[in-house]
Amino acid sequence: MKERDILLMDGDCGLCSHVANFMYPRLANKGSLQFLSNSSKEGRKIISKLSKQYQITDTVYLIRNGKCHIKSGAAVRCLLYMRWHYKIFFPLFWLYPLPLRDIKYSILARYRHYFFKRPAYCIFPD
């Protein structure tokens, strides 16, 4: 049996909670992706095994087929787990140049707590 891919997100972030709540019911295969908090015991263990450059990054992590993707690369690849009518947007977002995607991602990530209310509790399992 294929091991599930892992999406590590900030459990204290309203945007991350909204994204997870949006994605889960729209996944093509519910068993294909596991959602975890960066600060959970298992999440910290996974991050500690990554390269030093990835460990110091405060971002979303997608462990897909054993390879780690971060920032906008992880966000865009999340479309591949969703139903076909969401997957069709993957090539469009992927063609957008990575440096520009990452700049927009970084701006949104920096100000996410101003625009999205922090959840009362973490929705990601420990």
Model confidence, pTM: 0.89
**Could you give the count of Cα atoms lying within 13 Å of 99 in the half-sphere of its Cβ?**
0
Residue 24, pLDDT score: 93
Round to whole Å and give the CA distance between 78 and 80: 5
Proportion of the chain above pLDDT 90, given as a percent: 61
Tell which residue, 45, 59, 56, 46, has the closest CA to residue 13.
59
